[in-house]
Chain A
Amino acid sequence: MIALLVRDLTLAIRAGGGFGLGLAFFLIVVVLVPFGVGPEGEILSAIAPGILWVGALLSCLLSLDRIFALDFEDGSLDLLATAPIPLEAVVAMKAVAHWLTTGLPLTLAAPVLGLLMNLDPAGYSWLVASLALGTPALSMIGAFGAALTVGLKRGGLLLSLLVLPLYVPTLIFGAETVGRGADGMATATPMLMLAGITLATLALLPFAAAAAIRINLR
C-alpha cells in the first residue's frame, strides 16, 4: 500500500503538473476575484472565507479525473485489481496521494492568498485548520466520482457535475468555520461537522468507489 502511495507521489512529481497546476489555479481564482468585485478591503474581507474555500475546491476538482484515468488507460488498474491489495485500499491510497499533491499544498498556500483577500487576522488559523480538515474529504469524494466515470471517454465534465453537489456540505462547514473564526465567534460546531464529514467519507467511500471501479472494469 505504501508502495502505491510512493509511486503515485513519484509520478506526480516527475510529471510536474500535480503540485503546480492546482496551486496556480487557486492563485488565479483568488487574484481574479478582486478584479471582479473591486478593491475595497471591507468587501474583500467579507467574502474572503468563501472565495478561499471555493477556490480550493475548484483547484481540487481540476486534477480529479487523473486519479484513476491514467491507471485505467495503461492497464495498471486491471493489474491492481488482481493484486493482493484490496481495491478499497487502492482507492484510499489514491485519494491520500491526491490529497498530498493538491489538498496539502493548497492548505499551506492558503494563508498567503488570505493576505491578498484581506482576510481578518483572526481567520488565518481557522483557514488553515478548516482546509487541513476538509480537503481530505474533497479528495475522497472526488476519488468516488472519478471511480464512477473512469471508463468514460469524456468523463471530465460529467465528473464535475457528479461531484459538485456532493461537495456542498464540506464547503458550507469549511467556509463557515473560517467566517466565524474571522468574526471571533465560536467555531466548534462547524469544525466538528467538518471533521465528521471527513472521517465518515474516509471510512465509507472507499467501499463505494471500489465497487464502482469493479463495475467499470468488467
Chain B
Amino acid sequence: MSLWEYANPQKFTRTASALLPYVGGLAALCLAVGLGWGFFLTPEAANFGSTVKIIYIHVPAALMAINAWLMMLVASLIWLVRRHHVSALAARAAAPIGLTMTLIALVTGAIWGEPMWGTYWAWDPRLTSFLILFLFYLGYIALWEAIENPDAAADLTSVLCLVGSVFAVLSRYAVNFWNQGLHQGASLSLDKEENVADVYYQPLLLCIAGFVLLFVALVLLRTRTEIRARRLKALIARERMG
C-alpha cells in the first residue's frame, strides 16, 4: 500500500468523494465554533477595540495564502519528478483558492488597517509581499489558462512555480529591506513569548484549523472537478476519433 496509489485518478476521485463530507463538515464545525467564540465570547481589547476580532479571518487566510503556494510547489515538484497527472491538477486546483485567500487577507487587512493605522493601504513590507504574491497567483493561473495542451501547461506552470517561489522569497527580503513597516510581527510563533493573549489565542487556533480543513476540502473538490473535466475532454477526443 503506497501513497502513490492515490495518484491514480479513479482512486483519487473515489477517495476524495468519500472524504469530502467529513473534511467539509469538520471545517464547518471548526469555523462555526472558532468564529463564534472569537467574535462573541472574547473580551474587547482595551487598545484595539472590537476591530481586533477580524484576526479570526485575517490571520488564517494569510497563513493559507502562503501555504497554498507551498502546496502548489510540492505538487509541481511531484509532477515534474513522478509525472502523476493528479498532482499537476491538484496544483492547478489550489491556485484560485490561494488567490482568494490572498485577496481575503488583503481586504480584511485593509478593513482592519483603517481604524488601526488610519489608512486602508500602506506600502508596508507584509502588505506589499502579499500584493506581490497576488500577482504571482494571477500569472500562474493565467499561464494555465493560456496553454491548450494540458501536459505542456502542467510542465510550464510547474517550472514557473519553481522559479516563482525563489523570486517570491527574494521579493520578501527585498521588500523588507526597502521599507521597515508598521505591521506588527507574526501573530503566532513557537519560540516567542509575546504571542497574542491566551483568550484570543485558543479560538484563533480553532479558526486556523478550520481554514486548513476548508482548504483541504476545497482542493479535494476542485481537483476532482479538474479530473472530471480532463476526462470529459478525453471522452470528447475519443468520440471525434470514432
Q: Residues of A at under 8 Å CB distance from B?
A: 144, 148-149, 151-152, 155, 158, 161-162, 164-166, 168-169, 172-173, 176, 189-190, 193, 197, 205, 208, 211-212, 215-216, 218
Residue among B162, B175, B178 with most chain A CB within 10 A? B178
Is the CB–CB distance between B135 and A164 below 8 Å?
yes
- A165-B156 CB under 8 A given contacts A173-B174, A193-B174: no
Q: Mark B149-180, 1 if CB is under 8 A from A, else 0.
A: 00010011001101110011011011101100
Most chain B CB within 10 A, of A164, A165, A176, A190, is at A165
Among B146, B159, B162, the residue within 8 A (CB) of A158 is: B146
B136 neighbours in A (Cβ, 8 Å): 165
Q: What residues on A are CB-neighbors of B143 within 8 Å?
A: 148-149, 158, 162
Query: B132: CB under 8 A from chain A?
Result: yes
User: Out of A144, A149, A176, which one reaches B177, CB within 8 Å?
Assistant: A176
With an 8 A cutoff between CB atoms, is B107 at the interface?
A: no
A12 to B149 alpha-carbon distance, docked (Å): 32
B interface size (C-beta, 8 A): 26
B188 located at the interface, meaning its Cβ lies under 8 Å from any Cβ of chain A in the complex: no
Min C-beta distance of A189 to chain B, whole Å: 8
Residues of A within 8 A of B156 (CB): 148, 212, 215-216
Whether B162 contacts A208 by the Cβ 8 Å rule is yes
Q: Which residues of A contact B199 (CB under 8 A)?
A: none
Q: Contact partner of B163 among A189, A190, A197, A208, CB < 8 A? A: A208
Contact of B135 among A161, A176, A216 (CB under 8 A): A161
Are A161 and B139 touching (Cβ within 8 A)? yes
A152 touches B177 (CB 8 A): no
Q: Which residues of B contact A208 (CB under 8 A)?
A: 159, 162-163
A215 and B152: CB pair below 8 A? yes
User: In the complex the two chains form, is B135's CB within 8 Å of A149's CB?
Assistant: no
Q: Which residues of A contact B178 (CB under 8 A)?
A: 172, 176
Contacts of A197 in B (CB 8 A): 170
Looking at the complex, which one of B152, B164, B175 makes contact with A166 (CB distance below 8 Å)? B164
Contact across chains for A161 and B142 when beta carbons are under 8 A apart: yes
Contact of B159 among A148, A151, A165 (CB under 8 A): A148
B196 interface residue, CB < 8 Å from A?
no
